[in-house]
Structure 1
Amino acid sequence: MPLSPRKLGAIAVGLALAGGAVACGPKSADSAAKGADAAPHQGGTLYVLNNQPQTNFDPARLYTSGGGNIPSLVFRTLTARNRANGAAGNKVVPDLATDTGEPSKDATVWTYHLKAGLKYQDGTAVTAADIKYGIERSFAAELSGGAPYLRDWLVGAKDYQGPYKDPKGLSAIETPDASTIVFHLDKSEGDFPLLATQTSFSPVPKAKDTGTKYADAPVSTGPYEVVSNQDNGEHMVLKRNPEWFAATDSQRKAYPDTIDVQGGLDQAVINQRLSAGVGKDADAITTDTNLGPAELAKTSADKSLSSRVGTGHFGYTDYLAFNPKVKPFDNIKVREAISYAIDRTTVVDADGGSSLAEPATTFLPDQAAFGYTPSDPFPAGANGNPAKAKELLKEAGYPNGLTVTLAHTTDKNGEEGPEVATAIQDALKKAGITVKLDGMEHNAYQDKVYSVKTEPGLFLAGWGADWPAGGPFLGPIFDGRQIVKDGYNFNSAQLNDPSVNSEIDSINKLTDLSAAAKRWGALGQKIDAQALTVPLVHPVYKRLYGKDIRNIVISDWTGVLDADLVAVK
């Protein structure tokens, strides 16, 4: 389940720094501070100060290569995100493979060939069988935590329990020779090259597999190897891998000699240390800690600090979710009325202000890779249209207004928290809608709103991208075949529209990602018009980095300062 970057930076955190790069749709091409733009050089130690530890540092257990790209310093995959600023970073490129994959005509079979000269840190050769084994071990229950797509996509994989229980492996993955791997899918998947960037596609030599202890000393194919891993990722130290060669890897630069990653730090302490920039902290970055409104105000007033703050956009949407199975939300007029009544200006203010949130009128994030097309099916301006909302309520049979309950978390300063809930309550009151607030602790909230059995009629939610495309954004939320009745269900509208399902299948057959994006955009507009959600904001992220940090590059794919490219003074 994708989590908000404001909650868990280790999955996919939105960030951009002032190096002319922002994540998921740059708003400008302003250059960074001169220091950040200075020519990078090799040497030194890069310090990473994080709130979240790098737990379960095993390619099978990592959901993506996010977390500030720390995993990709060690684990290479068949394909990779392009290490480039802004929108150029949304491109998928070869990594271990010679290209991004050879699809069959219907995109149900994908073939990859490995580059020559690939080695592990001990000098042994990387083989296709190692990649197959690495994927298979991600199916083991004791190594759970990674992305679930392959279980659904590979032929005959739904009941597979991993190589520890079934050493025969997955017949859907073939390795006809040491440098070729072939995947057989249950259905057409044009996004397969994007999926192949995830860490489960990292090779693991069977002879070096230590099961649940593998995270302590994983075998590296990247420019760095793990020297120590204390307390399950609380403190990790990486040093150069002598068997990594730039000739086989165009994406990683490996400037620092050592990378020291510290997790479990208080967020306020992280920002204080980066702000002061004393000693080692001048060579430090964070990949999961944002500046809050008060911190941002102080930082903005100091030119020396503001030059080290950037603005980033990750592919994420905060929204108001409806359950049409619960009255009165079964009436589209009621849902439309609420859509018109929302005052996005007050929601933005509740989310920290315009520096930390941008108003959203589409469920898809506002960037081309997702197929974003500017639209607003219920145009209400910046402050809502209570008159139009009252008109629709009257048509719905509620001339005197109505009372509804809005579920939210008790998390302070969160997109699903009381500040945003109160802003919505105030806006709907102007339209004659009385909103009763139902706040609950975060875990209890998640269990309630993502269960078909207990899902309320109206609640706050958010969704982020596993990769920059419309499929992983629209599919889990609106594909009726993904409704989960006995587990976490994200299709809150419980929409099971055959035309939507069919269009999803049709788009998935496309291997031309640009053509697919246009189709995702059109489908997004069709769904938005049904008022099944009310898009509220696309979050904005502000982060500090050390004064001696160089070569700042942030792609729109992850929105995180790229540790693969950063250098220290």
Structure 2
Amino acid sequence: MSQPSFISRRVATTAAVSLVLVAGLAACGPQDDGGGKSGSASGASGKPAKGGTLTVLNSKPQDDFDPARLYTSGGGNVPSLVFRTLTTRNRENGAAGSKVVPDLATDLGRPSKNATVWTYTLKEGLKYEDGTAITSADIKYGIERSFAPELSGGAPYLRDWLIGGADYQGPYKDKKGLASIEVPDARTIVFHLNKPEGDFPYLATQTQTSPVPRAEDKGAKYENHPISSGPYKVVKNEGDGERLVLERNTFWSPATDEERKAYPDRIDVRSGLDSAVINQRLSASRGADAAAVTTDTNLGPAELAKVTGDKKLAARVGTGHFGYTNYIAFNPKVKPFDDPKVRQAISYAVDRTSVVNAAGGSSLAEPATTFLPEQASFGHSAYDAFPAGKAGDPAKAKELLKEAGHPKGLTITLTHNNDKNFETSPEIATAIQEALKKAGITVKLQGLESNAYSDKIYNVKTEPGFFLTGWGADWPSGGPFLAPIFDGRQIVRSGYNFNSFQLDEPSVNKEVDEINKLTDLDAAAKRWGALDKKIGEQAVTVPLFHPVYKRLYGEAVKNVVISDWTGVLDISQAAVK
């Protein structure tokens, strides 16, 4: 998102993560183990204290600042300062931050035996920025308005999961609301799903479950001044999110919110900036920029080399990971990719060392042999179905090609994005071209501009046989990572399709359903890992690498916390005093 957001957008695809500039769901993290809910400082020395202004310097504007329209609670964590949700991510460093915890709700939800009914109870004492009480009816209304066509852009899961969701058009057209969301009293909300969904506690972290008081709803204009349920309220929103200023919500009570520290008095988000300018300002760390961070701008290879040579700057670089995989996709409806031996040959021929170097080197990319990212929360289980070492195995590839009827090799076309800032860049395509040449495979490169590239690879009618792409999950679980790519029932014949292989294997579909019934998230993770291995052995993709992200923060920033959930600096934990 998970746009992986992003990017399963589904987050990771339609707004793919940039290797140099990096999209909003990319990662960044501290290189120490301080921070988190313990309140210990990382980054600048000294105990964090309340007060001051934290500046956020970003490339992408914080637009569509409406809980209905935000795809996830991403956006560099800025939305979660204003919009509280039923559940939220654990605000701790690394793997501990990939756990889901209660937010507005008292727990992670109480499922029925088959996980088709989920019941939540709200905490006592929850209030909006105007002092009025937050009720379960407000959460129901907030979800319902996310179905309105004029407020599109949010995640599709509630539409897919709620009974009657597929045909519902929102409260502006249907005053009756969704019968599948019940509010028996002011603190209870019950969801009725059309199929088992053990991941519902993760879904409940998305901004669509943020409360919206019906009387304050101004439709598409609500984003200008959404009513805050979090520690900060919007006092300025200019240029469609290019300048967003937040100040304290005095009715927010930390007694009801164990996750957000809310140290600064003010958050000043300035977006639409050039990435080089952002990194230069953070590097210089002068004036207000000493108390600045970025949540969407990565250090590129050249910048990283310069920073690494400066001990003071290097101490202000965080390393982090977001669940994202860059891979080669096949369309078996295009020959010769219908032949598993050809796909296996390509899997053996790929030189992941050269691919990693093309992606910026080992500091910015880690070789991947599994589709699931290496974080435990996804259910990662280490395997290599086609072990070829670090530099590929062209001899094994030639052997398989001979068995496939191509003793003299073959010629194929690789489609990629012409934008050098994307994981599908010409440099990576060239690295694959050179590696496959050693196995007797001639690769012609078809580079397309970003829009044309996306239109081509995500349409089943025009999808090429061999192309570069990537995927990131909307939350740290195997479900939103594997199901959209390999569940045959998610093949989209008209519109954006992400199951590029168009895999529709009954045993895979059945296992997805069986895992979705599990409400034990650890048990589900193990099953997702096993399913990943089963699918991987069919050579339906070639995992290439998982991106690594390096980001600067100002020298006055304390309590730097970055988790494996979002991979970005968590503003709710940062302090500037």
Structure 2 CA distance for aligned equivalents of residues 103 and 235 of structure 1: 41
Whole-Å Cα distance in 2 between the matches of residues 414 and 35 of structure 1?
29
**1:549 aligns to what SS in structure 2?**
coil
Question: In the alignment, what sits opposite 2:554?
Answer: 546
Distance across 2 between alignment mates of 1:267 and 1:246:
35
Give the drift of 1:6. Answer: 2.2
1:298 is matched by which residue type in structure 2? K
With structure 2 as the length reference, what TM-score do the two structures score?
0.96
Aligned to 1:5: 17
Structure 1 counterpart SS, 2:190: strand
Task: Report matched runs for 1:136-175 at 5 Å.
Answer: 136-175=144-183
- The aligned counterpart of 1:512 is 520
Q: Kindly indicate whether residue 242 of structure 2 is the aligned counterpart of residue 234 of structure 1.
A: yes
Q: Does 1:445 align with 2:457?
A: no
Equivalent-residue separation in structure 1 for 2:361 and 2:422 (angstroms): 13
The answer as to 2:75 corresponding to 1:67 is yes
Deviation at 1:367, TM superposition (A): 1.2
Under a length normalisation based on structure 1, what TM-score does the superposition of the two structures give? 0.97
Range with greater deviation from structure 2 (9-18 or 142-151)? 9-18
Is 2:428 aligned against 1:420?
yes
How far off is 1:18 after superposition? 2.4
Give the structure 1 partner of residue 141 of structure 2: 133
Which residue does the alignment assign to 1:27? none
Q: Find the partner of 2:509 among 476, 484, 501.
A: 501
Contact 1:189 1:509 in 2 (8 A): yes
Match for residue 247 of structure 1?
255
Q: CA deviation at 1:34?
A: 6.6
1:287-310 per-position Cα deviation (integer Å, ceiling 9, x unaligned): 000000000000000111000001
Distance in structure 2 (CA, Å) of the matches to 1:365 and 1:455: 25
Q: Does 1:16 align with 2:29?
A: yes
| Letter of the 2:78 counterpart | I
Say whether residues 1:222 and 2:199 are aligned partners: no
Letter in 2 for 1:463: W
**Cα RMSD for the two superposed structures:** 1.4
Q: Say if 2:114 is the partner of 1:88.
A: no
- Alignment partner of 1:360 is 2:372: no
> Is this contact kept in 1: 2:24–2:295, CA < 8 A?
no
| 1:276 Cα deviation from its structure 2 partner | 0.3
Are residues 37 and 481 of structure 1, via their aligned partners in 2, closer, same or farther at CA, if it must alter by over 3 Å? farther
- 2:223 counterpart letter in structure 1: A
Match of 2:289 in 1: 281
State the distance in 1 between where 2:160 and 2:397 align. 42
Structure 1 stretches lacking a partner, 5+ long: 24-31
Q: Which whole-Å deviations, capped at 9, do the CAs of 1:445-485 have from their partners, x for residues lacking one?
A: 00000000000000000000100000000000000000000
2:383 partner letter:
S
Q: How do 1:335-346 residues align onto structure 2 when only pairs under 5 Å count?
A: 335-346=343-354
- 2: CA distance, partners of 1:21 / 1:528: 37
Deviation readout 1:511-559 (Å, 9 max, x if unpaired): 0000000000000000000000000000000100000000011111111
Task: Call closer, same or farther: CA 1:21–1:541 in 2, change over 3 Å.
Answer: farther
Distance 1:192 1:309, change over 3 A: same
For residues 441 and 340 of structure 2, the distance between their equivalents in structure 1, rounded to whole angstroms, comes to 15
Q: Of 246, 252, 277, which aligns to 1:269?
A: 277
- Distance in 2 (CA, whole Å) between partners of 1:135 and 1:33 is 37
Residue 204 of structure 2 corresponds to which residue in structure 1? Answer: 196
Amino acid aligned to 1:496: D
Aligned position for 1:485 = 493
Shift of 1:167: 1.1
How far is 1:90 from its partner?
A: 1.0
Conserved? CA contact 2:148–2:171, under 8 Å: yes
1:76-104 per-position Cα deviation (integer Å, ceiling 9, x unaligned): 00000011111111111100000000000
Aligned sequence identity (%): 71
Structure 1 residue 194: Cα displacement = 0.3
Gaps of 5+ in 2: 1-9
Letter in 2 for 1:93: V
Q: 1:476-514 CA deviation, whole Å, 9 max, x = no partner?
A: 000000000000000000000000000000000000000
Kindly state the Cα deviation for residue 36 of structure 1 after the two structures are TM-superposed: 2.9
Cα distance in 2, alignment partners of residues 316 and 195 from structure 1: 18
In the alignment, which residue of structure 1 is the partner of 2:5? none
AA at the equivalent of 1:518:
K
Q: SS where residue 362 of structure 1 aligns? A: coil
* Cα displacement (A) at 1:12: 2.1
Distance 1:413 1:123 in 2: 46
Q: Distance in 2 between matches of 1:555 and 1:485?
A: 36
Match for residue 340 of structure 2? 332
Alpha-carbon deviation of 1:22? 12
SS at match of 2:75: coil
The alpha-carbon deviation at position 11 of structure 1 amounts to 4.8
Cα deviation, residue 37, structure 1: 4.9
Which residue of 1 is the match for residue 63 of structure 2?
Answer: 55
Distance 1:22 1:46 in 2: 17
1:524 match: secondary structure: helix
* 2:439 pairs with 1:431: yes
Residue 531 of structure 1: aligned partner: 539
Shift of residue 413, structure 1, vs aligned partner: 3.6
Structure 1 counterpart of 2:6: none
